[in-house]
Structure 1
Amino acid sequence: MGDRRMEDNIVQFCGVTGASTREARKYLEKYKRVDMAVDAFYNNPSEFAASTRHQPPAAPSTSKLTTLFNKYKDPDAEEITVDGTLKLCEDLGVNPEDVVLLAVAYELKSPRVGEWNKQGWIDGWKGLGCDSLSAMKQVLPQLRDKLANDPPYFRKVYNRTFDFARSEGQRSLAVDTAQAFWGLLLPHGLEGDALSHTKDVSEDGDVSMEDEEGWKPEYVQWWFDFLNEKGGKGVSKDTWAMFYDFVRTINSKFTNYDMEAAWPSTIDDFVDYAKARLASGA
């Protein structure tokens, strides 16, 4: 485990358990994963204790979370709305356009942009082990790192974002809205392992070495340029979902794309566009 990852995990472990940094490091070195280390701590809190027996901390408080929810809730509604969300971001020290908020929206089952209902708020923060602003601040870097480096988690947040960002009653995302959220998610996933390239595997199990390089960061703008030139009213859920698979599997020259596969026609057309752009050197 890298030093930075270990330090981040120690912060998370201590925030959940109340254990010392020294104990946290010992549990994490033995059990590797934060969730397994936390379980081990609760099952045997004195395993690495020098002399005193630690009591497991109290579970996150519903009353504390309710108080926080009411602090940000719209006085004329039953939910936290945009104004309350902006105040929450200010108190957490996070930019309202930070990609980590999409992970928070997933965890708290936010119904739409800038809105949070009480049940999702309480259940979500409890699941993250938080009932105070200080604990929430500590968990944000963990969520940001997980979103960047955990492909299954990234995909869950990515797929949830479509419904989260969609206007009520609409089946598709407006193109500019889709681009705004792709502009947050794709660069973040490409910086870590969440969108790492999945190479072709032959029938006998050999990994293709023909093109080691996958999707390039600049192709995000190519995708946007293509969508803007193409026009159209919106991005379907099918296109949104399958674009994730496309980004992970396509090689840097788009030569491994199968036009006969069940890709959305928009992605078919983009491949033609990208190949032409590569050929022209643009």
Structure 2
Amino acid sequence: MGNCLRCFKSSTSSDNSVAINSSQNINISEKEKNQHESEELLQTNVNNINIKTSHYDSSNYKKSLVNGSASSNSNLVEDKSKIQTAKSQLADNAINKMFEEYKDKDEDAILSEGIEKLCKDLNFEPDEFPILVLAFCLDAKQMCKFTKQEFIYGLKNLNATTISELRDRLMQIVDDLQTNVDLFKQLYRFSFHFGLDEGARILSLDMAMSLWKLVYTVQAPNNNVLERWLSFLSKESIRGIQRDTWLMFQNFAECFDINSYDSNEAWPSLFDDFVEYEISRLKKLELNEEERDKREQENNNNNINFSHKNEQI
């Protein structure tokens, strides 16, 4: 009985131990399961939160703003570009229409007759300074001829689509030329090539003298050197004016001083001839003045003597 009881106790104890272990295992298992489930639930919630908050991520929001702004700016640029293109097209049409009004019937250019009509509408004479400025602005390659390309390109640069606007632009440039030394130099260099006959390399003397008078309408050199230079040329047998002579005359006129002129410097020989001519001319003037003063003095003396004789009588 005791054994059975001992056995029972032992059995019970063993069974209880097994039961306890089993219960503990179950509890641990359930705990782990519950913990695992809790972790999964927590992770799920975190993921859900991330998913939800990703729609409100500040960086994404900023990107959307930037993209929206860029899209808006792009539209503005595109609209401005379209407006500019439309304005440019209108200007082109107006300039083309103006060209057609003056162009020659048989040639796609404005020739002498058309230029005369254009000058009349601009209220200028063909040989006035503003017309030389017009040719300069068009970068015309030949006198008495404006090609279509020259005319359209030039008027677009001047931003002139009407006769009134063209006249205003020309007068503005004429004013600028009085003080803008660099611009005047560009005009001066242009004038030589503009005056050349087609295929020629030397400017005819008559054309050179006319252009010198015209181009120096503004910024005339001091000491009347231009008038003295032209007077010298008109008395010399000169075939024409070379490019170097034309270009260097501007510097020569700016610094001309007959007393300090050095013929050993790299001036064209024509300038040496001009200085010799001027020295000779000035000496003659000086001698003529001395002779004139001498004659005047003799006349005065004669008058005095005559007056004394009359008094004695």
Instruction: Give TM-score scaled by structure 1 length.
Output: 0.67
1:235 matched residue in structure 2: 241
Tell me the distance in 1 between the aligned counterparts of 2:280 and 2:217. 24
Preserved contact between residue 102 and residue 114 of structure 2 (Cα < 8 Å):
yes
The percent identity for this pair of structures is 31
Tell me the distance in 2 between the aligned counterparts of 1:281 and 1:149. 35
Q: Which residue among 176, 191, 195 is the counterpart of 1:161?
A: 191
Preserved contact between residue 119 and residue 131 of structure 2 (Cα < 8 Å):
no
Q: CA deviation at 1:58?
A: 4.0
Q: CA deviation at 1:222?
A: 1.9
Tell me if 1:66 matches 2:73. no
Q: CA deviation at 1:220?
A: 2.2
1:124 matched residue in structure 2: 154
1:273 matched residue in structure 2: 277
Q: Greater helix share, 1 or 2?
A: 2
Tell me the distance in 1 between the aligned counterparts of 2:263 and 2:149. 45
Secondary structure at the residue paired with 1:167?
Answer: coil
What is the Cα-based RMSD across aligned positions, in Å?
2.0
Q: Which residue among 218, 221, 224 is the counterpart of 2:230?
A: 224
Preserved contact between residue 103 and residue 147 of structure 1 (Cα < 8 Å):
no
Q: Which amino acid aligns with 2:223?
A: K
Tell me the distance in 2 between the aligned counterparts of 1:244 and 1:113. 22
Tell me if 1:138 matches 2:168. yes
Q: Which residue among 211, 231, 234 is the counterpart of 1:181?
A: 211
Residue-by-residue CA offset, 1:85-127 (whole Å, 9 max, x unaligned): 0000001111111112222111101121121111111111111
Preserved contact between residue 73 and residue 79 of structure 1 (Cα < 8 Å):
yes
1:32 matched residue in structure 2: none
- Pairs within 5 Å for 1:85-104: 85-104=115-134
1:75 matched residue in structure 2: 105
Q: CA deviation at 1:67?
A: 0.7
Q: CA deviation at 1:70?
A: 0.9
Unmatched runs of 5 consecutive residues or more in structure 2 = 1-82, 287-313
Tell me the distance in 1 between the aligned counterparts of 2:209 and 2:101. 33
Tell me the distance in 2 between the aligned counterparts of 1:188 and 1:98. 12
Secondary structure at the residue paired with 2:219?
Answer: helix
Tell me the distance in 2 between the aligned counterparts of 1:137 and 1:228. 35
1:212 matched residue in structure 2: none
Q: Which residue among 249, 257, 263 is the counterpart of 1:259?
A: 263
Q: CA deviation at 1:186?
A: 2.1
Instruction: Assess, with a 3 A threshold, how the Cα gap between structure 1 residues 160 and 127 changes in structure 2: closer, same or farther.
Output: same
Q: Which amino acid aligns with 1:265?
A: S
Tell me the distance in 2 between the aligned counterparts of 1:61 and 1:132. 10
Instruction: Give TM-score scaled by structure 2 length.
Output: 0.61
For this pair of structures, how many residues does the alignment match? 202
Unmatched runs of 5 consecutive residues or more in structure 1 = 1-54, 196-214
Higher Cα radius of gyration: 2
Greater relative contact order (Cα 8 A, min sep 6): structure 1 or 2?
1
Q: CA deviation at 1:169?
A: 1.3
